[in-house]
Amino acid sequence: MLITKPNYFDTFRCIAGSCPDSCCKEWDVQVDAVSAAYYRNLTGPLGDRLREVLYEEEGETYMSIQEDRRCPMWRDDGLCRIQAELGEPALCKTCREFPRLTHDYGNFIEYGLELSCPEAARILLSAPAAPYVTVEVAGNQEPEYDTDAMAVLKSTRKQMLQLLESDRPLREVLVLALLYGYQAQSQLDGAEELPFDPEAALAEAKILAKPGSTEDILALFASLEILTPQWEQRLQKPEGEAFPEACRPLLRYFVERYWLQAVSDYDLYCRVKFMVLSCLVIASLGGDFLQTAQLYSKEIENNTANVEALLDAAYCHPSLTDDKLLGLLLSI
Ligand code: SF4
Question: Which ranges of the chain would DSSP assign to H, the alpha helix?
Answer: 33-40, 44-53, 81-86, 93-97, 118-126, 147-164, 170-188, 198-208, 214-222, 229-236, 247-258, 269-285, 289-296, 304-316, 322-331
Sign for the CA dihedral angle at 141, 147, 149, 152 comes to positive
Q: Is the CB of 22 under 6 A from ligand 1?
A: yes
Task: Identify the pLDDT of residue 132.
Answer: 82
Q: Is the CB of 79 under 6 A from ligand 1?
A: no
Q: Is the CB of 314 under 6 A from ligand 1?
A: no
Among residues 105, 26, 80, the alpha carbon closest in space to that of 297 is found at 26
Q: Is the CB of 14 under 6 A from ligand 1?
A: yes
pLDDT digits (tens, 9 = 90+) for 139-165: 767 888 899 999 999 999 999 999 999
| In contact, 329 and 178? CB cutoff 8 Å | yes
The residue to mutate among 115, 117, 124, 302, having the most atoms of ligand 1 within 8 angstroms of its beta carbon, is 117
Which run of H or of E encompasses 100?
strand 100-104
Report the nearest-CA residue for atom 6 of ligand 1.
23
Task: Identify the pLDDT of residue 325.
Answer: 97
Which run of H or of E encompasses 110?
strand 108-113
Query: What contacts 57, CB < 8 A, 6 or more positions away?
Result: none
274 Cα–ligand 1 center, Å: 25
Distances (CA, A) of 75 to 25, 82, 86, 135, 168: 12, 10, 14, 39, 48
Task: Identify the pLDDT of residue 40.
Answer: 95
Among residues 166, 109, 176, the alpha carbon closest in space to that of 137 is found at 109
Give the pTM: 0.92
Task: Identify the pLDDT of residue 142.
Answer: 81
Helix (H, G, I), strand (E, B) or coil at 111: strand
Task: Identify the pLDDT of residue 140.
Answer: 67
Query: Which parts of the chain sit beneath pLDDT 50?
Result: none
Among residues 249, 248, 269, 264, the alpha carbon closest in space to that of 312 is found at 269
State the DSSP code for 80.
B
**One-letter amino acid for residue 246 of the chain:** A
**Interatomic CA distance for residues 159 and 318, integer angstroms:** 30
Task: Identify the pLDDT of residue 68.
Answer: 86
Strand-strand pairing, 2-6 and 108-113: parallel
Q: Is the CB of 112 under 6 A from ligand 1?
A: no
pLDDT digits (tens, 9 = 90+) for 169-208: 999 999 999 999 999 999 999 999 999 999 999 999 999 9
